[in-house]
């Protein structure tokens, strides 16, 4: 398996930080492949490893990914039903582990997923005991949103941030669909601005008092009908009563909608979400139930009907709708973007969906530019200190592109920077970053293919708007439908397919073919397939070994490709 470029970069930086500091924090947005990265990091560090997860349903799923990255490792599980410490890597849930700390053995490396929960006294005890067992233990933390609404810091356990992968970066690379956001003013903005909810998940009853009226609920449905009708939609409400009020407004328009709350029994919740997944139910309304850890590929609209006093819950809620769609799981579903309707002005307050105000300019070191900086814990000649919110810094080492320290919230501002500096999103060329060469077939950008030794993949469009990503393993007959979406997302899905089934060695050998002329056997094959591949008097052809391989793969599979495209 070949890691995506940003994944390899994060793993390399995290390994260096661990060996230097014995701890590191990795920020990775939903959809970045967090489990793949933490699995690769574990493999590079080695030693007996503990992986702490926050939700039971993720454990078995992530064990499979870990095993694929580290096939020689022995894995074991410590949960409510199976309690084994025997593996090289032990997977557990924090809720289970806290009840059995007296039996926990020594670990060389502890990886904490969703590490922003570590500040809870119960979960914090896990790390304290692990350090007692092994004072030299390494600690890796992974989270999409280290900033907590209660302002508690992760600084007690981390003195550096290895890397950050943002929603904006993943959208620009094609691994998430782009958000299409609307801040909707329904005439109550001044009333909402006057309400100050003390924390992200604090009492939102005042917000509900403003929003939960029959006319406003009808306006919400009207705006949804105008901008997102037919989309699978998740609505985040202020209170349970509010959720039922908005649900009634949808059902009165014959739009199937259901409410899930913290009191909904587990079996009912699973059945309700299954109806949403099968597109029987169009709209699911909730109050902080689906904020974290729930991912649904078919969801392509998010409605925000609550205040977000901090950015983290806003990122979590919006992120529920940014996943790309696997067409083999959801035939006929085309998803190119996600509509976000914000009636509570959270987007207006926070400005964007990235966990932090800055981004790396490059993942590789730029000559003459620092790749790290120190969060100042004493007066600084470079930045305003304390910052405008009174933060004094914490001394952590963090990537140079950060404008806010994710551990203590210190803002890196200079005297003349009275307003946040506009930071342009990195523009990656997926084609240039790919370990494979993407070939325009027949000099048309409507058909592109790349090939390895175990698989090929391609992206195709019939109308120039909707793109199909297809892939095939050499030893399998069927073609896999990878995505039906926008061009960039299709290319990302196709490139990912090749990365999954090819190796670095195979990609390197394939690159060696790029400039080598096609062999006489390849030329004869292309000619038999109807190509004008006649060599010149010197035996040269316009085809290389690699492009000839792409064209022959296309020709051999043309009928199956056209069938998959509906031609």
User: Is residue 85 helix, strand or coil?
Assistant: coil
The CATH code belonging to domain 175-350 is 3.40.50.300
Q: Of 111, 107, 99, 169, give the one whose Cα is nearest residue 132.
A: 107
Contact of 174 with 438, CB cutoff 8 Å: no
pLDDT for 309-359, tens place per residue?
667 778 888 889 999 999 999 999 999 999 999 887 677 666 666 554 222
Token reading at 189:
């903005």
pLDDT of residue 50: 97
pLDDT of residue 563: 94
- Taking the model in full, what pTM does it have? 0.79
Identical fold between 5-166 and 175-350: yes
What's the Rg (C-alpha) of the chain?
26
Could you tell me the pLDDT band of residue 13, with boundaries at 50, 70 and 90? Answer: very high
pLDDT of residue 519: 84
pLDDT of residue 523: 85
Place of tokens 């669909």: 177
Could you tell me the pLDDT band of residue 415, with boundaries at 50, 70 and 90? Answer: low
Could you tell me which residues are beta bridge partners of residue 483?
A: 469
List the 299-304 sheet strands across, edge first. 179-183, 338-342, 299-304, 232-236, 283-286, 257-260
User: Is residue 371 helix, strand or coil?
Assistant: coil
- Is the predicted pLDDT of residue 44 greater than 90, yes or no? yes
Q: Of 414, 405, 403, give the one whose Cα is nearest residue 381.
A: 414
The dihedrals phi and psi of 311, each to the nearest 5 degrees, come to -75, -30
Please give the mean pLDDT across all residues of the chain: 84
**The dihedral of CA 126, 130, 135, 136: what is its sign?**
negative
Find which of 12-21, 78-87, 381-390 is predicted with most confidence, using mean pLDDT.
Answer: 12-21
Q: What are the helix (H) ranges across 46-153? A: 56-69, 94-97, 121-133
CATH number, domain 5-166, options 3.40.50.300, 3.30.540.10, 3.30.70.1560, 1.10.3720.10: 3.40.50.300
Domain regions of the chain by residue span: 5-166, 175-350, 356-421, 431-565
């Amino acid at each position: 398996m070949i890691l995506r470029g940003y994944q390899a970069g994060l793993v390399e930086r995290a390994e260096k930080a661990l060996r230097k500091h014995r701890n590191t924090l990795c920020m990775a947005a939903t959809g970045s492949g967090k489990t793949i990265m933490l699995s690769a990091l574990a493999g590079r560090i080695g030693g007996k490893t503990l992986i702490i997860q926050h939700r039971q349903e993720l454990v078995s799923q992530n064990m499979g990914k870990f095993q694929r990255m580290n096939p020689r490792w022995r894995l074991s599980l410590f949960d409510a039903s199976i309690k084994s410490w025997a593996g090289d890597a032990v997977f557990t849930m924090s809720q289970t582990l806290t009840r059995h700390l007296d039996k926990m053995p020594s670990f060389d490396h502890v990886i904490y997923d969703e590490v922003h929960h570590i500040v809870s006294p119960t979960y914090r005890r896990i790390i304290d005991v692990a350090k007692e067992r092994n004072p030299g233990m390494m600690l890796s933390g992974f989270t999409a949103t280290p900033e907590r609404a209660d302002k508690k810091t992760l600084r007690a356990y981390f003195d550096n941030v290895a890397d950050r992968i943002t929603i904006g970066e993943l959208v620009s690379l094609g691994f998430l669909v782009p958000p299409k956001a609307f801040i909707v003013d329904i005439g109550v903005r001044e009333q909402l601005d006057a309400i100050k909810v003390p924390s992200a998940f604090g009492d939102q009853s005042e917000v509900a008092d403003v929003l939960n009226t029959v006319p406003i609920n009808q306006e919400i449905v009207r705006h949804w009908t105008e901008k997102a009708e037919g989309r699978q939609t998740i609505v985040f409400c202020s209170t349970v009563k509010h959720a039922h009020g908005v649900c009634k407004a949808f059902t009165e328009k014959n739009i199937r909608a259901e409410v899930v709350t913290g009191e909904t029994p587990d079996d009912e919740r699973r059945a309700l979400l299954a109806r949403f997944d099968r597109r029987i139910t169009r709209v699911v309304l909730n109050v902080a139930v689906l904020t974290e850890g729930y991912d649904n590929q078919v969801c392509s609209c998010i409605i925000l009907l609550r205040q977000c006093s901090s950015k983290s819950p806003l990122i979590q809620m919006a992120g529920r709708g940014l996943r790309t769609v696997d067409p083999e799981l959801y035939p006929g579903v085309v998803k190119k973007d996600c509509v976000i309707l914000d009636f509570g002005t959270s987007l207006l307050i926070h400005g964007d969906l990235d966990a932090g105000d800055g981004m790396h300019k490059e993942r590789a070191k730029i000559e003459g530019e620092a790749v790290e900086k120190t969060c100042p814990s004493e007066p600084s000649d470079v930045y305003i200190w304390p910052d405008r919110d009174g933060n004094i810094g914490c001394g952590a080492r963090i990537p140079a592109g950060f404008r806010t320290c994710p551990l203590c919230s210190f803002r890196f501002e200079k005297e003349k920077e009275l307003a946040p500096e506009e930071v342009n999103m990195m523009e990656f060329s997926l084609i240039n970053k790919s370990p494979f060469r993407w070939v325009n077939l027949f000099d048309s950008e409507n058909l592109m293919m790349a090939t390895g030794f175990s698989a090929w993949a391609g992206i195709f469009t019939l109308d120039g708007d909707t793109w199909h990503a297809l892939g095939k393993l050499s030893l399998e007959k069927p073609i896999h439908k990878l995505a039906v979406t926008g061009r960039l997302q299709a290319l990302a899905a196709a490139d990912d397919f090749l990365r999954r089934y090819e190796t670095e060695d195979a990609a390197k050998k394939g690159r060696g073919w790029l400039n080598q002329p096609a062999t006489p056997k390849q030329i004869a094959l292309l000619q038999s397939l109807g190509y004008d591949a006649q060599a010149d008097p010197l035996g040269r052809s316009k085809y290389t070994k690699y492009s000839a391989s792409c064209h022959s793969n296309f020709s051999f599979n043309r009928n199956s490709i056209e069938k998959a495209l509906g031609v």
